Amino acid sequence: MSSTPSESTTSGHDTGKPVGLSVNGHDLLFPPLPYDIHARADKATADKQLLDFVHVATYRKDVTRRQVTSAAFGEKHGDFRELGAAIKQHTLDHLDHYIEKFVDNATAAGVRVHFAQDAAQANAICLDIARRAGAKLCVKSKSMVTEETQLLPQLEAIGVETVETDLGEFILQLDHDAPSHIVTPMIHKNRQSVARAFERELGAPYTEDPQELTQIARAHLREKYRKADLGISGGNFLVAETGSVVICTNEGNGRFCTSAPRVHVAFVGIEKLVPTFEHLGVMLKLLARTSTGQPLTVYTHVMTGPRRAHEHGGPDEMHVILLDNGRTEILKPETREMLRCIRCGACLNACPVYRKVGGHSYGAVYSGPIGALITPMFRGLANYPDLPNASSLCGACYEACPVKINIPKYLIQLRAEMVSKRITKWSDRLVYRMWARSLGRSWTYRLGGWAQKLFFRWQARVAGTLELGDPYRSRGWLNDLPGPAGGWTSQRDMPTPPAKSFRQWWDEQNRP
Amino acid sequence: MSNISDTPASLGVDRQTFLKPVRQALGRISGQAVPAPPAVDPQLVRLASASEDVVSLFAQRAGEVGMTVCRIKSDELIRTVSELLEKVGAKRVAASVGSLPQAVSLNDSLRRKGVEVVDWRATPGFAEQYGLDAGITDVHAALAETGTLICSSDAGHSRGLSLVPPVHVAIVRQSDILPDMVDYWARLRGIPGRELPSSQAFITGPSKTADIEGILITGVHGPGQVFIVVVEGV
């Protein structure tokens, strides 16, 4: 069993060309709206190096996930996913109850719980905590929620130096870049760009050795942990029964950020709740194996309140900022299932579209199939009209999802909503309508098939590719169709129908 | 209980205001009954059981995630630990205060062998720990199924000793090795009225990253080497 999927020896890419699309981190995740996917997707698909990187990395992770989950769970895998889905669904179905329970128990354990309905409130609460603590230096571990609220520039603006400490996020911060994958944020960058960033920003000697690069980061960030007076983390789970915050990390920066500074602030979305430790255990068993193929992440840190009087190390103050920021909109019955997501990233790794366009093409904090669902929900369907269509509906994401979110079903639901709300272009809607009409009646279907056959075979005859012979088998090939159909033939040939159709063959066979 | 934080209202909202849209989306009213959550059937969730050779399974799985395991008798503890420290060149160390290290007077024994043993409790926080070559801890439990060490915080156990120094030496009592995480939760529940520690760290391997081109590197922020000494018969 390959329990450490990341043990790979990808050969160095020595072209020296930076992999990545832009260096403006903010615009990458918060582009002007409405967002048009095409410019970035075209750029990404034309970047062979980026494609190689993302494709190889995601493909490997996807294979590892299959191997590791089948080795660990065997025949139980289906039941495990059912249970994981049921736990999250139950908690969401009664979320008010579990939020109350969590708040009571966390408060009893000494946590200050804050309630933020949107990003602005969450950031304001955090800035207030930072001011009261007189914070000068903040160390931060990985948190998608703080990407969502765009916390960092605000902390910097009030004079709190804020350092990302997850190695990938640290490098992205130095390069003014943005994460392109929920779990492996700098999946789109190569070692040369890291080497240059460290040389430029840290004054480190240029080296392309990942081991040396890591040691440079370690030494630099240790000094930050020593001096930091504020630590910020996200939260993978909240345990209602005990008021615990759980973070799952591999590098150890999460433990530092939540233990070394005097004040710890956790930003957590309300969908992260689970009822009890036993339920947490089920989710932990699913998360790491599905995400990175590990039995558990190296550090699974369960935090229940600040340092006790008799304890040594740990924050004197612990704050949890519970964030809504559009989640209650998704909590409605029609879309609630989407909130089961535990951000494992398996759907990104499994997705043939993500592999081809990379995370930044989605133009949002959450990318990949789950991002294509929740981004339009968070930020408006009319603002992200391309995302529900950025899927082949192959279902690989659904199959990979540890909590069985039926992503293809909801993508179709969003597409239907786009048509009913007239977000889809009128010309597209007209085509859909005509299509539905012609497929809905036998004679229109036959007429359409006949017209298509005539047109294609005539085109093939002109092109000289029409095969003659068996009327049921021989066909022709088109490689240059006009108009919108050219989108098909730019990638592959279009076969013409044979001279006689299946229906004609059927009638001939059954003729008395 | 609704106004538990001293944050001015303008910076956030109070609990009931926050819960209002939640209840609206759910179609629930405050205090409405909640059915029991899905049962966690141990038969399903358990991936390792006591019928197996739990110690061997633990050693195997801990090895798979990159930790080094040795199994000894209790009278070999001092020798084993000092040999490990010598092997990694650790001259300045600190140890947790637990019954197992104390029973063999670990600190004094190491000092007699010329190792500088720092009293980490003399200064608050991790200040004393950044300069250490190794941290030695006993653990509160270990999980065979995943090869996991569980280090909880209490008066004798700093959060830092298993995190800050570049080498972590973990002393594990054989009887503390539980087959599966299910058994750990059951054990926690079996101690009624006990206050939870502020920190329970489940450690499954040395500190790792694969952020740069997917290449596995150990020792990013936490220890790059973890040695586990399983003491049999206790």
Per-residue pLDDT, averaged over B105-109, amounts to 95
Q: In sequence order, which residues have a C-beta less than 8 Å from that of residue A338 and are 6 or more positions away? A: A330, A370, A373, A374, A377, A405, A410
Q: Does B73 touch chain A (CB under 8 A)?
A: no
The helix-helix angle for A426-440 and A442-463 (nearest 10°) equals 110
Checking if the pLDDT of A97 tops 80, the result is yes
Q: What residues contact B164, with CB distance under 8 A and at least 6 apart? A: B126, B129, B130, B132, B135, B222
Q: Answer whether residue A2 is part of any domain.
A: no
Q: Which residues pair with B73 in a beta bridge?
A: B232
**Chain B residue closest in CA terms to A95:** B22
Mean of all residue pLDDT scores within chain A: 91
Whether B9 and chain A come into contact, CB under 8 Å, resolves to no
B-chain residue closest to A129, CA distance = B7
Evaluate whether B84 touches B229 at the Cβ level (below 8 Å). yes
Chain A residues 254-293 with a CB less than 8 Å from chain B: 255-256, 259-260, 270, 275-279, 281-282, 284-285, 292
Q: What is the rounded CA–CA span in Å between residue A78 and residue A83?
A: 9
- Report the alpha-carbon distance of residue A402 to residue A80 in Å, rounded: 8
Q: With contact defined as beta carbons under 8 Å apart, do B197 and B154 qualify?
A: yes
What are the tens digits of pLDDT across the range B163-180?
Answer: 999 999 999 999 999 999
Q: Tokens 């769970």 belong to which residue? A: A73
- Put simply, the answer to whether A295 touches B145 (Cβ < 8 Å) is yes
Mapping DSSP to helix (H, G, I), strand (E, B) and coil, where does residue A328 land?
Answer: helix
Q: How confident is the model at residue A116 (pLDDT cuts 50, 70, 90)?
A: very high
pLDDT of residue A184: 85
pLDDT at position B72 is: 97
Whole-number pLDDT of residue B116: 97
Distance from the Cα of A15 to chain B's closest Cα (Å) equals 15
Q: In this prediction, what percent of chain B has a pLDDT beyond 70?
A: 96
Note whether A439 and A310 are same-domain residues.
Answer: no
Q: Which of left, alpha, beta for A147 (phi over 0: left; psi -120 to 50: alpha)?
A: alpha
The residue with greater pLDDT, A33 or A483, is A33
Pick the CATH number of B52-232 from 3.40.50.10420, 3.20.20.80, 3.10.20.90, 1.20.120.80: 3.40.50.10420
The pLDDT tens digits of the residues spanning B6-56 come to: 444 458 999 999 999 999 999 999 999 999 999 999 999 999 998 889 999
Please, which pLDDT band fits residue A480 given cuts at 50, 70 and 90?
confident
Residue A115 near residue B10 (C-beta atoms within 8 A): no
Assess whether pLDDT exceeds 60 at residue A4. Answer: no
Mean pLDDT of A159-173: 95
pLDDT tens sequence across B123-150 = 888 988 999 999 999 999 999 999 999 9
What local confidence, expressed as pLDDT, does residue A24 receive? 58
Interface test with A, best of B13, B14, B195, B196 (most A CBs within 10 A): B196
Asked whether the predicted pLDDT for residue A430 surpasses 60, the reply is: yes
A367-417 pLDDT, tens digit per residue, is 999 999 999 999 999 999 999 999 999 999 999 999 999 999 999 999 999
- Inter-chain contact B26–A259, Cβ cutoff 8 Å? no
Q: How far is CA A55 from the centre of its chain?
A: 15
Q: Is the dihedral of CA A440, A446, A449, A450 positive or negative?
A: negative
Domain boundary among A274, A309, A328: A328
A451 in any annotated domain = yes
Q: Please give the pLDDT value at position B194.
A: 78
Residue A46 covered by a domain: yes
Lowest mean pLDDT among A23-27, A202-206, A271-275, B4-8: B4-8
CATH number of domain containing A321: 3.40.50.10420
Tokens 């063959």 identify what position? A505
Number of domains making up chain A? 2
Q: Which residues of A touch B132 (CB under 8 A)?
A: none
Say yes or no to pLDDT of A20 above 70: no
Q: Do B208 and A186 touch (CB under 8 A)?
A: no
- The interface predicted TM-score of the complex, written ipTM, equals 0.95
Q: What is the pLDDT of residue B5?
A: 45
Q: Do B201 and A80 touch (CB under 8 A)?
A: no
- Between CA A488 and CA A497, with CA A492 as vertex, the angle to 5 degrees is 80
Tell whether A91 lies on the interface with B, counting CB pairs under 8 A: yes
| Residue A512 pLDDT grade (very low, low, confident, very high; cuts 50, 70, 90) | confident
Q: What is the mean pLDDT of residues A336-354?
A: 96
Chain B, 175 to 194: residues with Cβ < 8 Å from chain A are 181-182, 185, 188
CB contact under 8 A, A218 and B221: yes
A27 has pLDDT over 80:
yes
Query: Chain A residue closest to B205 (CA)?
Result: A298
By the 8 A CB rule, do A235 and A268 touch?
yes
> Does residue A352 surpass a pLDDT of 50?
yes
Which of A279, A311, A328 is at the close of a domain? A328
Residue A475, CA atoms < 13 Å, CB-side half-sphere: 13
A79 in contact with B at a CB cutoff of 8 Å?
yes
Asked if residue A8 belongs to a domain, the reply is: no
Q: In this structure, is residue A412 part of a structural domain?
A: no
Residue B37 contacts A where some CB pair is shorter than 8 Å? yes
Range of the domain at A101: 25-328
